[in-house]
A and B are shown apart, each in its own frame.
Chain A
Amino acid sequence: MAEMDTSSGGGHKKGPGVKKGKKLSTRVDLTPMVDLGFLLITFFIFTTTMSQPTAFKLFLPKDADKPEDQNKAKESGALTILLGKDNHVFYYEGILDNSNASSKFKSANFGNGEDGIRNVILQKKLTTPDKDFVVVIKPNEECTYKNVVDILDEMSINMVKKYALVDISEVENQLVKVTEAASASK
């Protein structure tokens, strides 16, 4: 197979005085070459980029110029999620005002446990009629891009049909910061 024909193939005969060289075997041990080959294969397999980046679609609503043009969400079906620094998530249902701030304003996390935001969204979704359910996402200036994408991802995981990305109000931002400071000092 891997041998080459080294015999002089019936050519002219050497003279009587010429000594014949010892015939060496042409069979080469290919094992090291195979080793090297497979080593390189493993290298290239591992360096091949398999996962292509995916794209997450987001459709923005057109900015309403007049406040009366804006969509009003039903209070009973609204869930507002606030994003703070260090992956803090807060939420409240309905409308927040001074009188009920302490009882309504709750904190959650990005996990999927009992107090994870996924569970909160799911509970709210199950207890409200489909057409009223809307999630309002309000990131404050200290949260990261990752948090925003995560929460938008959460929307598609829980199949929330209506959600909005809204600027945080000053009052809410204060509340987020106060709560964060309180939980940090604990």
Chain B
Amino acid sequence: MSRPKLPRKSTSIDMTAMCDVAFLLLSFFILTTKFKPSEAITVTTPSSVASKVAPDKDVVLITIDKNGKAFVSMDDETIKQNIATVLNTTKHLNLDVNAFKKAEFYGTSFSQLGSFLALPKEQLKGDLLPGIPVDSTKGPNEMIEWMQLVKTAYEGKKMNLLLKGDNASKYPAFKAVVDAFKKNDLLKFQMVTNPESVPIGSELWKDNQAKGGKGASSE
């Protein structure tokens, strides 16, 4: 059988279109990537079935690291400024209000706060800092005072109280912080966790199925 001869086609493909797409996607991913800010305090959070995303505005975050050291951080600069002024007037700490405002977190006793604010950024690592004293057997639980300050500063405003604890931290540290919340009537707080799927067959799972949800809890 004789076939009509097909003209031989070149096997090289024009890559331009593909190149365009690749770089378009690349620029998209570059722009959307948010690198995790290198955290001064390393904390691995436990996981829970809670599906509500942690708030990121008006946050007062208490971090407990693996050694049970507690740190406080806030995101609102005016609030921080107010707290610094209050501290200066009530405790005569002579704090640098500006430095207090700029500090990302606080992790020392009130008496050491002045020198803490003067520390260079390299030394602001969770391991090197003493943390806010919370152990009431060794001295006053200063977290109570912190919470009082925060509560008065946020008076009349919405505040999201978050607690972020390390998997390995012991219960007494957690209890001390919770006690500080209780003492100030801050009875609602949220614990930062990693998302986890609801175990299949459990009560909550059945409930979600009945509601026609997608396995997300309404917590």
Contact = CB atoms under 8 A, between A and B. Distances in A.
Tell whether A pairs with B.
yes
Interface string A74-99: 00000000010000000000000000
Contact of B193 (A53, A60, A140): A53
B14 interface: yes
A31 B52 CA distance: 44
Interface in A117-176: 118, 122, 125, 139-150, 152-153, 156-159, 165, 167
B207 interface: yes
Nearest to A51: B195
Contact of A58 (B54, B191, B198): B191
Interface of B: 14-19, 22-23, 25-26, 29-30, 32-36, 45-55, 64, 162, 165-175, 178, 181-182, 185, 187-196, 198-199, 202-205, 207, 217, 219
Contacts of A140: 171
Given A45-B29, A55-B52, A157 B15 contact: no
Size range of the chain A interface in the assembly: 35 or more
Nearest to A45: B29
Contacts of A61: 187
B219 A156 contact: yes
B194 A53 contact: yes
B3 to A, nearest CB: 32
Contacts of B207: 159
6 contacts: A1-B17, A62-B182, A140-B171, A145-B170, A150-B46, A159-B207
Contacts of B191: 55-58, 149
